[in-house]
Amino acid sequence: MNILLLGYGKMGKAIEQIALERGHQIAGRIDISNRADLDQLTDDAVDVVIEFSSPEAAVDNIRYSLKRGWPVVSGTTGWLSHRDEIEELCRTQNGAFFYASNYSIGVNLFFQLNKVLASFMRKYPSYRVSMTEIHHTEKKDAPSGTAITLAEGIMEHLSQKTRWINQTTAADNEVAIESLREGTVPGTHTVRYDSDVDRIEITHVAHSRQGFALGAVIAAEWLPGRTGVFGMNDLLTNE
């Protein structure tokens, strides 16, 4: 399979390594320094795009790829105010678009655990929910896409929570998310429920980028031949 990498930073390089190990070819490596090279690629030179760029570049990258007829796997966060537009473009182009805030299998299990815990805590309003996410200092967006997904899972089950806020204190209807940027941390997410007498916490710690990269390549292997908008639940629950 010929994979086009849009974004060739640390994640792009990790994805490349795994893709090559799994027998795929790299059709191109595009970043801000050589974006004009995209126009030199023929439509049939690319089987699937894996897009891990920046919040500023993601929408144009995805839009361009869908219009070229290339299936797109995207893991860039910080652009989701344009998500409805991209999903509509995917449908009108009869294309294929796969988005996840986090491609790690472990994190996606953690998403489900978070929802189960939130459903339990619905009966115990004395517990105050909050969250902390820690990433490397080069991460540009805050909170992380993973933290937002966790907050959405909480709001799905705690009806009194209607929005998240990126600060340590929050109103009764808000989920507080603290964002820390430290060293080279790949990603740590903690959801906590505090009461006057105790605390319940669940935490996911990523040891490296390899889990994210492997999940993205697996999604890229799964996507070609399909049409529509997909996410990790589709990948994990369908053959």
| Active site (catalytic) residues | 135, 139
Alpha-carbon distance 92 to 8, whole Å? 29
Question: Is residue 110 classed exposed, middle or buried when 0-12, 13-18 and 19+ CB atoms within 10 A define those classes?
Answer: buried
Alpha-carbon distance 38 to 29, whole Å? 9
Query: What string of H, E and C letters represents the secondary structure of 148-159?
Result: HHHHHHHHHHCC
DSSP structural state of residue 53: -
Q: 76: annotated binding-site residue? A: yes
Q: 101: annotated binding-site residue? A: yes
Alpha-carbon distance 40 to 27, whole Å? 11
Q: 92: annotated binding-site residue? A: no
Q: Report residue 87 as tokens.
A: 């999903």
Q: 136: annotated binding-site residue? A: yes
Q: 188: annotated binding-site residue? A: no
Sheet order of strands, 25-30 included: 25-30, 2-6, 48-51, 72-74, 96-99, 228-230
Q: 100: annotated binding-site residue? A: yes
Q: 190: annotated binding-site residue? A: no
Q: 35: annotated binding-site residue? A: yes
DSSP structural state of residue 234: H
For residue 109, list its beta bridge partners. none
| Contact yes or no for 69/93 (Cβ under 8 A) | yes
Q: Residues comprising the binding site for NADP(+)?
A: 35
Residues in the annotated binding site for (S)-2,3,4,5-tetrahydrodipicolinate: 136, 145-146
Binding site listing for NAD(+): 75-77, 100-103
- Binding positions: 35, 75-77, 100-103, 136, 145-146
